[in-house]
Amino acid sequence: MKRFFGPVTMADPQVSDAEHELFGGPLRPTAATQEHDVNPRTLDHTDTLELPVTGDGPFNALHTFWKPSHYATGLEAHTESCSWRTFRVGDLVVGVRLHAEDRTVIADIYTAGDFKPADREELTRRLISSYGLDEDHAAFAELASHVPAMREALAVLGGMRQSCPEDHFEIAVIALLLQNVTIRRTAQMTRNLLAHYGHLVHFDGITLRAWFTPDEIAHVPPETLKERDRLGFRAKSLPHYAAYFRDHSTEDLKAAGNLMEAVQEIKGVGPYTAAVIASHASRAPAAFGIDVWNRKILARRLLDANDAAPETVMTRLNELFPGYAGTAGLYLVEHEYLTNPVASLLRSGPDALTAWNAALEQTGT
DNA sequence: GCCCAGGCCAGTT
DNA sequence: AACTGGCATGGG
């Protein structure tokens, strides 16, 4: 460990703000920040998948892969024409480079060590599902085309699908970290968890983080999550999340009669987090997790008010887009951020990649 | 100091 | 069932 400034104590555990600066956020003073050089694990090109978009309706590759409203995690990076993303497939860490040619998504796969046929099949299913490549989109497009408040969003984003490269556990953790904090705090907690328990990989010229599995974090005591990772009251919840998703496979969850109710048995999962899991990982188009952020956006766009009660907003959303509240909310929120994205596209070219990689590799463990 | 963030829970009416 | 205070933390 390199120490640039004074002693590093247990009370000085946060990761640096180097990548935060890269991602465009304001900087806090970093006088005593500890900086480590971390060697990412190199993944090799092992496969190429060609995935046709089989669902009907238009397909918008850029805005399916990249969502302007999503905060930076280091798990993915995007340029105008190409995206990189990590996936956990069982215990494997997989790097994927995505681009689209018309209605075919081409996924170059990078792994360390053996990549079995079963892994290939699982990743194929995962990619198709994560980006909704087999989902019909025409019905929503038709419905939305008749709602004036949606017209502009549909014109610019049409063909965008819900994206959720996260599995149920991963998206549940994201939603947990969003609870009752600013995005700045969410990003801080995400950086801490991924730096401390995730993986750093390098493939196709880019360095990215990868998630931890439930097994890899289930043993971490709440005190550590609170004091070292700055999770606040969420520190008590994360171990419950890890245990639940360790013990309930994706197949179990799909078989659950009512997923929204089922996951609320987890301590720290309420209506909002359950709806995020359902609408994202389970891709339920009618589910929408309403929070103080999207509530205000939807109040302006659907009710011509600066804010409104959540029930009022949900009633309006459901009456305008029956069966598609989640999809409609997605379009309106992404449109809100399109001209001023939370995490911008990477410029194409070696300089931008070099800066990106350096920021991730200097962030502490 | 006080208030608010991309909520949830346990304890009261 | 519907309210309420407390929970952690950091920025404005």
pLDDT per residue over A319-353, tens digit each? 999 999 999 999 999 999 999 999 999 999 999 99
Does A285 fall in a domain?
no
Domain holding A45, by residue range, is 41-139+158-164
Does A59 fall in a domain?
yes
Cα torsion angle, A262, A264, A269, A274, sign: positive
Q: Distance in angstroms, CA of A64 to C1' of B8?
A: 31
pLDDT band at A12; cut points 50, 70, 90: very low
Q: Distance in angstroms, CA of A180 to C1' of B2?
A: 17
Q: Distance in angstroms, CA of A10 to C1' of C7?
A: 24
Asked if residues A342 and A188 have their Cβ atoms less than 8 Å apart, the reply is: no
Q: Kindly give the pairing relationship between strand A83-89 and strand A92-101.
A: antiparallel
A87 strand-pairing partners? A94
A209 strand-pairing partners? A200
Does A75 fall in a domain?
yes
Percent of chain A residues past pLDDT 70, beyond the cut: 89
Q: What is the pLDDT of residue A258?
A: 94
Q: Which residue reads 């190409």 in tokens? A: A82
The DSSP-derived string for A248-261 is: S-HHHHHH-S-HHH
Q: Which nucleotide is nearest to A182 (CA to C1')?
A: B5
For A118-128, b/e burial (b = at least 16 CB within 10 A) is: ebbebbeebbb
Distance of CA A354 to the CA centre of its chain: 23
- What's the CATH code of the domain at A122? 3.30.310
Structural domain count of chain A: 1
Listed in order, strand segments (DSSP E) in A114-205 are 199-203
Q: Distance in angstroms, CA of A30 to C1' of C11?
A: 16
Tens digits of residue pLDDT in A18-47:
555 555 444 333 323 334 457 999 999 999
What does the block give as tokens for A127?
């990619």
Q: What is the pLDDT of residue A256?
A: 87
Which of A97-101, A120-124, A191-195, A251-255 shows the lowest mean pLDDT across its residues?
A: A251-255
Alpha carbon of A353 to those of A244, A350, A356: distances in Å?
Answer: 37, 5, 5
Does A191 fall in a domain?
no
Could you give the CA distance from residue A129 to residue A165 in angstroms, rounded to a whole number?
A: 8
Q: What is the pLDDT of residue A1?
A: 30
Does A10 fall in a domain?
no
Does A237 fall in a domain?
no
Q: What is the pLDDT of residue A14?
A: 61
Could you give the CA distance from residue A235 to residue A188 in angstroms, rounded to a whole number?
A: 14
Tens digits of residue pLDDT in A249-287:
999 998 888 999 999 999 999 999 999 999 999 999 999
Could you give the CA distance from residue A82 to residue A62 in angstroms, rounded to a whole number?
A: 8
What does the block give as tokens for A328?
């409609």
Does A251 fall in a domain?
no
What does the block give as tokens for A58?
């238009």
Could you give the CA distance from residue A195 to residue A235 in angstroms, rounded to a whole number?
A: 16
Does A65 fall in a domain?
yes
Strand C: which bases are under 7 Å from protein Cβ?
7-12
Q: Indicate if CB(A267) is under 7 A from strand B.
A: yes
Q: Residue A19 is inside which H or E element, if any?
A: helix A18-22
